[in-house]
Amino acid sequence: MHRTNAFACIAVFTSLAAAEGGRARFIPLPTIPGGAAPYSAAFAVSDTGRFVCGASSSAAGTGPVVWDLDSLGVREVARFAQSTPGGEARALSASGSVVVGQSRQSTRFVAFRQMENESPQSLGSLAPSTLGTLSAALDTSADGAVIVGWSRNNQGTGAREAFIFRAGGMIGLGDLPGGTFNSTAHAITPDASLVVGEATDDRGLRAVVWSNSGMAVLPDPAGAVLGTAAYGVSKNGRVVVGKTVVTEGRSRATLWRDGVPLDLGTLPAADPDATALSCTFDGELIVGTSRFGDLYEAFMYDELGMRNLREVLVVEYGLAAELSEWELVSAEDVTPDGRVIVGQGTNALGQVQAWAVVLPTPCTGDYNRDQQVDVFDYLDFAQAYAEENIRADLDQSGQVDLFDYLEFAAAWDSGC
């Protein structure tokens, strides 16, 4: 697209205060009442930002749950008949009406899908097993029709194989040649065109993608590498996030944009280790967990680099009082627009508890997120737009075009 005079009609001004768009909220997510040792963990949030899924203790045991951030309620899901609770909910459809994960069925744990107002469906497994866990669903397409995860197979005792589940049933995605048979599909794009995860070769774990072209290994970042793994993928499929193992038990958060690797590093620590778990639509905001000594801390990564999420929420969003007795251990998922982040941490009583953070509605005019709308936002967006950088795709259409320019121009001119 020709862009030479695209910004000629925008009048440059030097500074405008950005609209606040409301105040950030930190929401501790409740457990099912009755648990002797309260516990909860959040693993995913719907694209709408309303529903969160994970696991919670209860009087009968710990099992899959869904939270509604509008009502702050929690409900048990995927309870098979005559089975005690067990397992966890790992992913939601875009609207939150379909939940998938792993649940106890009799004496085994199996991958499940549960649609709104319906009984849970067991997805089965690739092969019979004497082990207690047969399969686990880890992600789903936008409509909940296609599911990915891992299942026991017949390649060896305890062998895991990545699977994709469609209307016709569960299909194994295979593994790389060499090494012990072991593969897992961690995430899928909304249209089910791309699956990301890990497989094993002679060297160990390798980050891979599955598409209509088959399985492909993602390239290693520069430097010594023992292995890689992929845990999340952007909604447009252009960004994959995960980790690179650099020494035994030590990893660095990693991003692959259009297949090109980028080392995101770790939070500062004497014993560094970090894993990226999820990202926004364009991959410009990434969340995950990083080790600090014997503890783990949730992080966010954006144009300012990797930062401790709790510190950002306290300093930039004024949540010091709400987080005064909390440690945020892991940020597991983020909505495509970056407005809702979920994970788990430890509360004032030292208990592991799920949480959600709802950030103010983003100010589109504050393109560089420095809390003011000024000429630097114009310059940064103009450069990204001219380069057709996906970060300039403001309307999330999957391409950078005139509509993105018009959206930014209107927001910038209005001061937000």
Question: 3-state DSSP call for residue 87?
Answer: strand
Q: Which residues pair with 44 in a beta bridge?
A: 53
Q: Which residues pair with 64 in a beta bridge?
A: 55
Count Cα atoms within 13 angstroms, Cβ side, for 316: 14
Determine how many CB atoms are found less than 10 A away from the CB of residue 1.
Answer: 11
Count Cα atoms within 13 angstroms, Cβ side, for 52: 35
Cα 406 to Cα 394: distance, rounded to the nearest angstrom: 10
pLDDT of 131: 67
Tokens of 110: 């199996």
Give the C-alpha distances (Å, rounded to integers) separating 128 from 87, 131, 306, 371: 19, 9, 43, 56
Q: Quote the distance between the C-alpha of residue 61 and its chain's center.
A: 26
H or E element at residue 386:
helix 375-386
Q: Exposure string (b/e) for 13-26, b if CB count within 10 Å is 16 or more?
A: eeebebbeeeebeb
pLDDT of 260: 97
pLDDT of 372: 78
Backbone phi, then psi, for 414, in 5-degree steps? Answer: -85, -10
Q: Decide the pairing of beta strands 51-57 and 40-45.
A: antiparallel
Closest CA to 303 of 290, 291, 312: 312
**pLDDT tens over the chain, length 416 residues:** 333 333 333 333 222 222 234 689 999 999 998 877 899 999 999 999 999 999 999 988 899 999 999 999 999 999 998 778 899 999 999 999 999 999 998 888 999 999 998 999 999 999 877 666 799 999 999 999 999 999 999 887 779 999 999 998 999 999 999 999 999 999 999 999 999 999 999 989 999 999 999 999 999 998 878 999 999 999 999 999 999 999 887 899 999 999 999 999 999 876 789 999 999 998 989 999 998 777 899 999 998 999 999 999 999 999 999 999 999 999 999 999 899 999 999 999 999 999 999 998 767 788 877 777 888 888 888 988 888 876 788 877 767 888 888 988 888 888 77
Contact between residue 110 and residue 134 where contact means Cβ atoms under 8 Å apart: yes
Tokens of 323: 């987080």
Prediction pTM value: 0.85
H or E element at residue 128:
none
Q: Which residues pair with 171 in a beta bridge?
A: 164
Q: Helix 375-386 crosses helix 402-414 at what angle (to 10 degrees)?
A: 180
Residue 286 amino acid letter: I
Backbone phi, then psi, for 159, in 5-degree steps? Answer: -65, 135
Residues 6+ apart with CB under 8 A from 211: 193, 194, 195
Q: Which strands make up the sheet holding 327-334, listed edge to edge?
A: 25-28, 352-358, 340-346, 327-334
Q: Decide the pairing of beta strands 352-358 and 372-374.
A: unpaired
Give the C-alpha distances (Å, rounded to integers) separating 63 from 88, 182, 386: 5, 26, 49
Strand spans (E) along 141-233 = 147-152, 160-166, 169-172, 184-188, 195-200, 205-211, 214-217, 227-233
Cα 113 to Cα 296: distance, rounded to the nearest angstrom: 31
pLDDT of 1: 33
